[in-house]
Amino acid sequence: MSSIRKRLPVHLVLLAAGLLSLFPLYWLFLTSLSPAQYVVKVPPEVVPRELTFSNYQRLFDTTPIVRWLVNTVVIAGVITAFHLLFDSMAGYAFAKRRFPGKNVMFWLVVSTLTVPAQVTLIPVFFILRTIGLLDTYPGVIIPGLADVFGVFLMKQFIQTLPSELEHAARLDGASEWQVYTRIILPLSKPALAVLAIFTFNRYWNAFIFPLVILRDPAKYPVQVGLATLQGEFNTDFGMLMTGAAVAAIPMIVVFFAFQRYFIEGIRVGGVKG
């Protein structure tokens, strides 16, 4: 009791800071649920008097938002699935195996971790144009498999696993592939969970790359679609906030379901905000 009372000011400061950070989200949902006449009211109403789903009805009727959400799930989902496979394979090789050139390869990979993605944007655009993948899903997905954060994460984790099980499996006649699938993968589940959450979140939110690669609005992921809504609805903030709300909800649900993996992901090097 006394400790709570003593710390009350600290809790109040932290809660105030947290609510300030969350306020834009609150304002987003509130605006999306407000009838049109309240959206442009002076002064605006911070506590709602009347809520409606009419903006949502209008959004689903007049925009391909559902299509955009499905596109995003497919793009982010496929990228995540491939990262889980490829990054754990490479992470295992870099962590546990010896082979000529290993250090050079790993050093090359890690040295590009701080290169801003926009540096490679134009050359990658040219490459995709050359092989005819502009304005296609593979064109958005394949370059997404080249980022190396996950390799680094998996290597760091697999390094901490004991090697005895691997050796025992080999003595029992397991092939190298079986060592990876039956020993390494099951033991790596915690790291794979972090990687899955992080990768999915990152590609759910990707913007500039799909914006540049895709032309056909039917192929847009939701972030690019949202940006085009601005051109269409300009200052119809009720509609714009509703679009943003629909794009926000899935990620918020994922966050509440897998919170601790997000927090763990930051600690292993995924700070982005």
Partner 1 sequence: MLRSSASRVRLAHAAVTMGAAVRRHVWSYLFVLPTFALFVVFTLVPVVQAFVLSLQSARIVGGDFIGLQNFVTLAEDPVFRQALGNTILYSAVVVAAQLTLALVVASLIQPLGPRSQTFYRALFYLPLVNSAILVAMVWRWIFNANPYGLANTFLGVFGLQPLLWIGSSDQALAAVILSAVLTIPGGGVVLYSAAMGSLPKELYEAAEVEGAGALTKWWYITVPLLKPTTLYLLVVYTILAFQIFERVYVMTNGGGPNNATITIVQLIYSTAFQFGRYGLASAMAVVLFIMAVAVAVVQFRSLRSDVEY
Instruction: Kindly indicate which of the ranges 53-61, 63-71, 82-90, 185-193 contains the residues binding partner 1, using the contact rule CB under 8 A.
Output: 82-90
Name which of residues 214 to 273 contact partner 1 (CB under 8 A). Answer: 223, 226-227, 230, 235, 237, 240-241, 243-244, 247-248, 251-252, 254-255, 259, 262-263, 266-267, 270-273
d(CA 199, CA 194) in angstroms, rounded, equals: 8
- Length of the chain (residues): 273
With contact defined as beta carbons under 8 Å apart, do 224 and 210 qualify?
yes
Under the binding rule (CB under 8 A), the answer on residue 159 touching partner 1 is no
The DSSP secondary-structure symbol of 180 reads I
Under the binding rule (CB under 8 A), the answer on residue 196 touching partner 1 is no
Return the number of the residue (132 or 167) whose C-beta is nearest partner 1: 167
Name which of residues 54 to 73 contact partner 1 (CB under 8 A). Answer: none
Instruction: Kindly indicate which of the ranges 11-19, 47-55, 61-69, 73-81 contains the residues binding partner 1, using the contact rule CB under 8 A.
Output: 11-19
Question: Residue 123 Cβ, how far from partner 1 at the closest point, in Å?
Answer: 4
What's the CA angle centered on 98, arms 264 and 197, to 5 degrees? 20
> How many residues sit in the footprint of partner 1 (CB under 8 A)?
96
Name which of residues 84 to 123 contact partner 1 (CB under 8 A). Answer: 85-87, 89-90, 92-94, 97-100, 102, 105, 108-109, 112, 114-123
What's the CA angle centered on 39, arms 238 and 58, to 5 degrees? 30
- Tell which phi-psi region holds residue 98, choosing left (phi > 0), alpha (psi between -120 and 50) or beta: beta
Under the binding rule (CB under 8 A), the answer on residue 81 touching partner 1 is no
Give the tokens for residue 23.
């306020």
Give the tokens for residue 208.
């500039």
Return the number of the residue (57 or 118) whose C-beta is nearest partner 1: 118
Among 41, 57, 186, 218, binds partner 1 (CB under 8 A): 41
Q: Nearest CA to 128 among 139, 120, 141? A: 139
d(CA 192, CA 157) in angstroms, rounded, equals: 10
